[in-house]
Structure 1
């Protein structure tokens, strides 16, 4: 069953129905309820002959901290649904879940639901869920859902309700994050997404939580570039596990005491996937092998951080100092006596760079280091082992006197589009859907424009005192570049990833549904449309008469810029 979230769910991020509660249970007065009632009316003293004081105190404590019933959820990943004729992998997976874990409260899918992120694949996956499974399914995007998508998060959100979730139960919350990057393979959790995560963790008030996203963190392959910011945040809260996918294998390892668990890729009917039983005190991981028809207990994690030996608080920061041409690293409470690996900007350093290792200090010789910011990490005792201690820090090498840094700012989201310059302003589109205008001299804010929930991949274009850009939400937007005020918006057929251009008297732009459009710059009226076989991602070239562009259908086109008439089409081979 797939449920489109209500408005409350969208904004409060979901408290699903709890299948643990049995609505058919007859209404009976439990002795805890009875004691609570008489205590609340001041009659408890009259019952000392029936309930001794110690028993009454014990019952009161039980009532204050009731032991939750056991409940289950299932974690799968990487079904890679496509539009082919074969049975959908999601359907096969869910059929096995129904058989093996009928007691589960809900299911989470940590991404790569589709092979390409195309709308027809998303539709097929959603249909498989609706037709096969009668429990809530919470899905997030993986790199396959984002890398070749024609409509980005817009298409995913329209079918699966959201791109991040909070599923809160009595004694545990599962929080799912968006770590996808549109049109890219790797993973990244935007600063705005981490702010959202911390807001949700604060609301839990110390309740145990699991965090889920697609790419496994702190992996030797460095799929994710947000490990430092993420684990510095998680260290301050009662987070017992991170759930992921991507590698198509069931695995588990620890990072700074937090368990990382990946599910197998259920695109294969042989894949081993995960099921969690949440008891009053522990989260117990089981793995399901459909081929062997086996369920095996893997590990158990206490919900109480003290029982895990965890102290919630700031993560020790790696300190760095440059002394006589060598970088000295130290962490206040870290010991490297058992060994250490070092990574610089996600790349494992050659051991010859380790000049000296002491239990508390590390000396590095970093040759030919260009100016700029670097992330450095130490991993003890070694990268890739089952229990790792990661510490992060930053190295900054100042530019020489010939290069002057005028200013530097951090925006709440990543940037994948080219900025535009208008007079004394630089205008920047971000992955949060916000367009920022900053003063080129100081970096101070001039104005902001929120285009919606989806990333701006279409770079802003300035022409005759107007600014134009496209949105994933299927619109072309025109703003006053001086003030950021909206002049017009024009709905188009398909998400806009490509950057527009002016050709003659028209604004030209391609869409995710394969339309090349000519719009009137003054009001957004569509003058002509030309259809191709797939996504148009790039800006066309213009020679004064014709437009030249390629599309994801493997063809290259020449079209008259004034009329949209086809000049020629060539099949391209690679």
Structure 2
């Protein structure tokens, strides 16, 4: 006889055994025993945790937990927030309901969260994951400013811990991320070309005197070339996969220059070349 047990519980079973001896066929003995059979159900499983994509410090965050409990038992949850704070077990609720808890982090950083869930039978499972808490920012607040001696049309370039920016005072500036001047280079004419930095930290840019420069990290000139004297170079350079540098000038030509400052070729366009070039993965220049 087979009997399916649908719910987790302790069951009493009456077991009757009959013993028949081979040499005493007329002798029959009955024995009654009570057994306790415990059916264990599977533990509840967390199938989803919902929380905001961006988490700021000192902000109250809502966490929603969805649980799969196959036997339909009520479930409870406990949260370890990873910052030394933990919650007690929540009240048991239907598995159809989302378990909700709130928390706020006082400092930015990466936190290891652990969430445990249990059913009324005492079965427990857990899930662990990490969250990245960003420092709370005041939108639009100026962190620092740096004043040059002229208008700035050049877009800054960032390399490692430095920011490079050209100015109409004819200088290229290297500034740290706190706004402190590291060095400046005087090109002798306005700089409206936005600098580009290669993998070795060499900075490339042009000026409105027809000159194109390559500087090292310390601001020293590695080389310079003159396209056509006193023409404007407003085009910002692009660096190809083979480290060739491309830029345009107001003499109507588009230039390709190697890392040693040698002009590989130039292409006459018939007009001013102000736009900055773009290079696709196949090396085609636009």
- Using the size of structure 2 for normalisation, the TM-score is 0.48
The structure in which a higher percent of residues are strand is 2
Structure index of larger Rg: 2
